[in-house]
Amino acid sequence: MSFGIEATNTGGQVLISSEFKNLHFKYKKTSPDYVDSNSNGLFGGCKVMRYRFYLSETPVPFFHVPSGHSCAVTAVKSVSTGVWDIELVTNGVNPEVYVFATEAVVIPGETHGLQVFNSSSQVTFDSRAAPLLVTGLITISQPGQPSSSYSSSGFEADGCATGVGTYSNSFTPNNTTWYNPGLPSKPLMFFSSTAQAEREVHVQKEEDECDGFWLKGDCVGFRRNYDYDSWYWAFYRNTIRWSGSSIGSTWCVAAWGCHWEYNKDSYAFGISNGGSSSSGGAWPYSNETINTFNNTVIIGNAAYYD
């Protein structure tokens, strides 16, 4: 850098730069503009929510949730010019979403401070505009399994007949990997979820009908063999939660569904004479975990911006 200002701390970390812009607090929202009502109360209370922000530049979203509840930013989308939707997955609560951006908007009444400009006369730092203050940073990975066990007990094999209200608890995530970075009393967290997992429970049933009689396991007459398969699945996104001074990496269900197949084979006196099959439902992939590279969690103090 041949001109300008660069303030660093004793660790060599850049605090203020006239070349790159600091992030400044813009505003926060405490309730979503959209909630996926279909997921209400299922899978441990996981819900997909969207918060809409009106901002002239790309928002950098942080969030706060009460202790014990998990959350993650799962998508950021430009709806139209200056309109942004931030999608989060959370369980049981409405996160408080704090948005930061490079533009500095001075807090009303703040008349003292320091401004730094770049060579284009744009403000890169303004101490009156609540610059982002970071209290910690950790890199996390994900628990290998969202839930410690998946049981097929109680699932119907025939045509995905079991209702989601009956089976959702079987997919409720219960594994967490903990880290201890130290936290303020009201932690503010930045976490963009990229890791995803699909887990499924496969149930199968076979039935035989014989118009005639069975002789040593074979049908003497007309036989029909029915094969039913259902794959009940849940789609997880990596989320984080906090307790005391620790942050946990865990999972939350963002979507679910069921895929089924049906096959019928017919025989006359042991000789095949046709059959039929059908299927329905869709699923993203089978029993895989993807995008599992380590993710960054940036930690701040939400109380500073309230």
Q: Is 15 in the site for other proteins (CB under 8 A)?
A: yes
The rounded radius of gyration (Å) of the Cα atoms in the chain is 27
End-to-end CA distance of the chain: 36
* CB contact at 8 A, 204 and 232: no
Task: Name the residue nearer to other proteins (CB basis): 87 or 156.
Answer: 87
d(CA 125, CA 116): 5
With CB under 8 A as the contact rule, the residue among 208, 288, 294, 306 that binds other proteins is 288
Return the sign of the alpha-carbon dihedral for residues 183, 185, 190, 191: positive
State the nearest-atom distance from the C-beta of 154 to other proteins, in Å: 23
Rounded Cα gap, residues 100 and 77, in angstroms:
15
Closer residue to other proteins (CB): 219 or 255:
255
* Spatial distance between the Cα atoms of 212 and 190, rounded to a whole number of angstroms: 69
Kindly tell me which residue out of 58, 151, 174, 245 binds other proteins, with binding defined by CB under 8 A.
Answer: 58
Q: Which of 83, 161, 290, 303 binds other proteins (CB under 8 A)?
A: 290
Per-residue mark of binding to other proteins, 197-226 (x: CB under 8 A): ------------------------------
State the number of CA atoms in the 13 A half-sphere of 214 facing the CB. 6
Binding site for other proteins (CB under 8 A): 1, 7, 9, 12-15, 17, 19-23, 57-58, 60, 73-78, 102, 107, 109-114, 124, 127-128, 130-135, 137, 190, 192, 194, 196, 235, 254-255, 257, 282-285, 288, 290-291, 293, 296, 298
